[in-house]
Amino acid sequence: MEQIEHDDWLQSTRRDLHRHPEPAWREFYTTARIVEELRELDVDDIQIGSEILAEGERGGVPAASELDDWLDQARGYDVDDAVLDQLAGGYTGAIATLERGPGPTVALRVDIDGLPRTESGDDTHTPVAEGFRSEHEGHMHACGHDAHATIGLGVVREIADSEFQGTLKVVFQPAEEVIGGGRPVARSGHLDDVDALLAAHVGLDHPTGEVIAGIDDFLAVAHFDAEFHGEGAHAGGNPNRGRNAVQAMATAVQNLYGIARHEDGATRVNAGDVGGGTAPNIIPEEAYIHAEVRGETTELMEYTRERAHSVVESAAEMHDCTSRIELGPEAPSATSDERLVDLVADVAGATDQVEQCLRRDSLGGSEDATFLMDRVQQQGGVATYVGVGTDHPGGHHTATFDVDEESLPIGVTVLAEAIERLGSDNSPLDV
């Protein structure tokens, strides 16, 4: 495929995915389109849905009725109904495998889900001006996962027609935005024979033409929901008979932000969604907190989570209420391995479109690719998280976020060349 034709294909694929954003575990159209493209390539195996997800490990799965609504919407498009049938129940995502003889097993992970936020309708917003704004009102690709899925497909296309020796697995992972998809993919067993894993993300405040060979300092993260139960009463007539759940919740929120920081590194806590009560004249008997904790290391996250749970229980007891804590999705920290950082940096430095390559940088946030990185490293393999710079108006997760499509071929070229080198005689892997 000539370069211009290849770049046009990358652009049209990305724009199609951008028009059809689907949030975590509802990536029905997205997965079906990915499978459709993979079937046009020289791929030895395509596994989808429950075939790539460890049973009982998904996090942040929405209600069955919501899943059904999104599946019905996907059936209205021109995609394979048989594929959609396999995705029913929110078992989304795919793994494509290319087998090219003896050699290492290499994996590339890209994520595919969108976000529940409304995309800008301003005429200066490129997706509006060029006719590929989200058609799913209230949802958009505000973090570049449409570009990630496209880059993953581009890498498959490049490696299928290359001199790569070994096995390549490209993981199109669902549900990153709720940190719910990394764990079931990691625990599925599909990565247990992987010698080297590359994960990729566009943007992250790096411009087009810049590549980061190894991103580190992922904050380990864990979500939790806390419920408070008291006793209702008339606020004017007999307030003494009530046990105020909102008071307990408010006390907990205040004290969560008072958790002592730790000498070993950074910690974070946020009560992002709180509520309770039914009317001004009723002592509220129920309240809730949806919160998260983070840490510079997995151990620091666990320290903060333990303290947070203690705060919730103490606040409930203080106001004569009871509490219940339900654990939510979580992801560990991770570090990029030096051997792969060296390789990607060398490849990027030799790539014409790359203007600057940084060896390492800090993420400053969380990502459930760390589950996959950790799994590969625990099995004796190596992993790195690669940043592909892209000029993006608006920050990540904002209504005006967009991807500079000039960065798509850069991402494909750097990742495909790195993978090809891993499957060559001068591979840095000792397989």
The domain 3-217+334-422 having CATH identifier 3.40.630.10: the answer here is: yes
Residue 275's nearest CA partner among 257, 255, 291 is 291
Give the mean model confidence (pLDDT) for residues 327-347.
Answer: 95
Judge whether residue 179 has pLDDT over 60.
yes
Residue 372's pLDDT is 97
Query: Dihedral through CA 27, CA 396, CA 383, CA 223, nearest 10?
Result: -70
Element (H, E) at 339: helix 338-349
**Structural fold of domain 220-331:** Alpha-Beta Plaits (3.30.70)
Q: Read off the pLDDT of residues 240-291 as tens digits, 9 standing for 90 and up.
A: 999 999 999 999 999 999 999 999 999 999 999 999 999 999 999 999 999 9
- Per-residue confidence (pLDDT) for residue 40, from 0 to 100: 94
Q: What is the pLDDT of residue 3?
A: 73
Strands of 243-355 (E only): list them: 267-276, 282-283, 286-295, 322-331
Enter the DSSP assignment of 218.
Answer: P
Above 80 in pLDDT, residue 425? no
Residue 160's contacts (CB-CB under 8 Å, 6 or more residues apart) are 41, 42, 43, 98
What is the side-by-side order of every strand in the sheet holding 196-202? Answer: 45-48, 94-100, 166-173, 105-111, 196-202, 382-388, 210-216, 356-362
Whether the predicted pLDDT of 322 surpasses 70: yes
In the chain, list all ranges with CATH 3.40.630.10. 3-217+334-422
For residue 38, pLDDT over 60 is answered with yes
pTM: 0.92
Q: What mean pLDDT do residues 152-171 have?
A: 96
CATH 3.30.70.360: which residues of the chain?
220-331
359: left (phi over 0), alpha (psi -120 to 50) or beta: alpha
In the predicted structure, residue 1 carries a pLDDT above the cut 60: no
Backbone torsion region of residue 23, taken as left when φ is above 0, otherwise alpha when ψ lies between -120 and 50, otherwise beta: beta
The position carrying tokens 């990691």 is: 186
